[in-house]
Amino acid sequence: MKNENEFTKWYIDTIQKADLMDYTPVRGCIAFKPDGFEIWEHIQAEMDRRFKETGHRNAYFPMLIPESFFQKEKDHIEGFSPELPWVTEAAGEKLEERLALRPTSETMIGHLYSDWIKSYRDLPVLINQWANVFRWEKKTLPFIRTSEFLWQEGHTAHVDEEEAREETMQMLGIYKEVVEEVLAIPVYDGQKTPSERFAGAVDTYSIEAMMQDGKAVQAGTSHYLGTKFAEAFDIKYLNKQNTHEFVHTTSWGTSTRLIGSVIMVHGDEQGLVLPPRIAPTQVVLIPVGPWKKNPEIIEKLDEVFAQLKAKGIRVRLDDSDQSPGFKFNEWELKGVPVRIELGPRDLEKNQALLKARDEDEKVAVDLAEIVGKIEEELETMQKRLFDKAVAFREKHSHTHVDTLAQLEQHIEASDKNDEIPGWVLAGWCGDDDCEENVKNETKFTTRNIPFNPPATKSTCINCGKEAKHTVWFGRAY
């Protein structure tokens, strides 16, 4: 799966065979099938719980946004105008003003916050929205980059910069926690360079994840917006000194590209490998051998099914007429973390066979201890997947590249040896032209300026001058 085209083909084949989605007649718009949507529901539940624990509440805002709203924040319209789909006609009549299908909701929410916020007593406003958004992508890839996608977007307003920045970093921390602990994907957290930050933001922070082809996925972003949108939409509050001040705002978001990231990080040649905490089915029970002649097998599996269900474990019993080999292959394709096999001989020994999706060998488990063993294996597998992803990322995170020539040599050597170039940690002087030249020459873009880099670089990778920042560079989706 090292070759880029082979990896993309593997990825598309995997999600189709696992029955996660289907294409629709509208370019870049996919239908989420139940298993695909349920993965998102589990991610959503983990996020939503943490949002609410930190005082945030959910709301919903309109999908259609007047064109004039975008014009109020210059950087914002310039950043999103190429991707905006427009509604120009309704009920057979041409609209007086074009309406955009939202690419993000800062402008609509800014308009409403200007009415909702009057006094310091109204602050902070801590609102999140679960919604769909539209960005008319030229090149699409299911889950990773689509014209319509699902996401959450948080929008908060605060009395001052300090409080707003604390919010920005708190939400980035929540993203990192969920992606690492629930999706078992290690990330580098850090600050985006000015050219990569969100349109209209003062500062943008991100978590960046490495896929098995060495490319980066921006797995979540959190933005400190300063008073830019407050000034554009006149969001003021009366402070304790009885004078008006602009609020400081933030926004932050993650999307269904996390589903694609899970597939690309953990999948193998047999199909999906899903971390137990987000798998739609965590355990599948399969009778084997001449089980139909032995009703005790199904009775025992029904008993195990009920026990697992009572523990809150998502379990399925496959008692279809397909052969065991077909079933094994089918559930492996779907990435189910744990498979339990039970046949007449197993029943005689009072045991079942346990097979973890990411392990080669089956393990005999005493039926009296099977529920506990399954619980243990689900936790062990979760950690095992994370550790494996960390090892892969470390292997392909390079700190020996200091110049553009060395980067070009590194890429050339990787291509020659059929290896992935991964990411490189390099210095950057802070000049946009240097950053742009690296991109033009190598297709490597800045991922972020990591908070805790494994090394510190003293010279710029492009010009050789003193480096102001140590930055991760890599190719990205």
Q: Kind of pairing, strands 86-90 and 148-158?
A: unpaired
Q: What average pLDDT does range 381-409 have in this prediction?
A: 97
Q: What average pLDDT does range 232-239 have in this prediction?
A: 97
**For residue 333, what pLDDT is reported?**
97
**For residue 2, what pLDDT is reported?**
55
386 falls within a domain: no
- Cβ pair 323, 340 in contact under 8 A: no
317 and 462: one domain?
no
At 436-457, the pLDDT tens digits run 999 999 999 999 999 999 999 9
- Tokens 């800062």 map to which residue? 106
287 falls within a domain: yes
Whether the pLDDT of residue 75 is over 90: the answer is no
465 falls within a domain: yes
Whether the pLDDT of residue 76 is over 80: the answer is no
**For residue 167, what pLDDT is reported?**
98
Among residues 241, 266, 291, which one ends one of the domains? 266
450 and 314: one domain?
no
**For residue 1, what pLDDT is reported?**
52
Can you give the CATH number for the domain in which 366 is found?
3.40.50.800
373 and 401: one domain?
no
124 and 196: one domain?
yes
261 falls within a domain: yes
Which residues make beta-bridge pairs with 250?
156, 224
- Mean pLDDT, the chain, whole residue set: 96
Q: What average pLDDT does range 340-352 have in this prediction?
A: 96
352 falls within a domain: yes
**For residue 169, what pLDDT is reported?**
98
Whether the pLDDT of residue 77 is over 90: the answer is no
387 falls within a domain: no
Whether the pLDDT of residue 3 is over 70: the answer is no
Can you give the CATH number for the domain in which 437 is found?
3.30.110.30
Task: State the residue range of the domain holding 161.
Answer: 4-266
Lowest mean pLDDT among 30-39, 75-84, 342-351: 75-84
At 348-370, the pLDDT tens digits run 999 999 999 999 999 999 999 99
pLDDT band at 292 (very low <50, low <70, confident <90, very high): confident
Whether the pLDDT of residue 248 is over 90: the answer is yes
Q: What average pLDDT does range 388-394 have in this prediction?
A: 98
64 and 142: one domain?
yes
250 and 168: one domain?
yes
Lowest mean pLDDT among 1-15, 28-42, 161-175: 1-15
Whether the pLDDT of residue 408 is over 90: the answer is yes
354 and 208: one domain?
no
323 and 245: one domain?
no
Looking at the 3D structure of the chain, how many domains does it have?
A: 3
Among residues 266, 301, 320, which one ends one of the domains? 266
Whether the pLDDT of residue 473 is over 90: the answer is yes
359 falls within a domain: yes
236 and 295: one domain?
no
Q: What average pLDDT does range 458-473 have in this prediction?
A: 98
Q: Considering only residues 291 and 410, tell me which one the structure prediction assigns the higher pLDDT.
A: 410
Q: What average pLDDT does range 84-105 have in this prediction?
A: 96
Can you give the CATH number for the domain in which 207 is found?
3.30.930.10
278 falls within a domain: no
333 and 425: one domain?
no
Among residues 207, 240, 266, which one ends one of the domains? 266
Task: Give the percent of the chain with pLDDT over 70.
Answer: 99
**For residue 8, what pLDDT is reported?**
95
pLDDT band at 396 (very low <50, low <70, confident <90, very high): very high
Whether the pLDDT of residue 193 is over 80: the answer is yes
Whether the pLDDT of residue 164 is over 60: the answer is yes
**For residue 5, what pLDDT is reported?**
80
d(CA 245, CA 234): 10
The 3-class secondary structure across the chain, one letter per residue, is CCCHHHHHHHHHHHHHHCCCEEECCCCCCEEECHHHHHHHHHHHHHHHHHHHHCCCEECCCCCEEEHHHHHCCHHHHHHHHHHCCEEEEECCEEEEEEEEECCCCHHHHHHHHHHHCCEHHHCCEEEEEEEEEECCCCCCECCCECCEEEEEEEEEEECCHHHHHHHHHHHHHHHHHHHHHCCCCCCEEEECCHHHCCCCCCEEEEEEEECCCCCEEEEEEEEEEECHHHHHHCCEEECCCCCEEECEEEEEEEECHHHHHHHHHHCECCECCCCCCCCCCCEEEEECCCHHHCHHHHHHHHHHHHHHHHCCCCEEECCCCCCHHHHHHHHHHCCCCEEEEECHHHHHCCEEEEEECCCCCEEEEEHHHHHHHHHHHHHHHHHHHHHHHHHHHHHCEECCCCCHHHHHHHHHHHHHCCCCCCEEEEEECCCHHHHHHHHHHHCCEEEEEECCCCCCCCEECCCCCECCEEEEEECEC
**For residue 297, what pLDDT is reported?**
95
At 18-70, the pLDDT tens digits run 999 999 999 999 999 999 999 999 999 999 999 999 999 999 999 999 999 98
Question: What predicted TM-score, i.e. pTM, was given to this entire model?
Answer: 0.96
Q: What average pLDDT does range 403-422 have in this prediction?
A: 96
307 and 359: one domain?
yes
247 and 296: one domain?
no
Q: What average pLDDT does range 161-184 have in this prediction?
A: 98
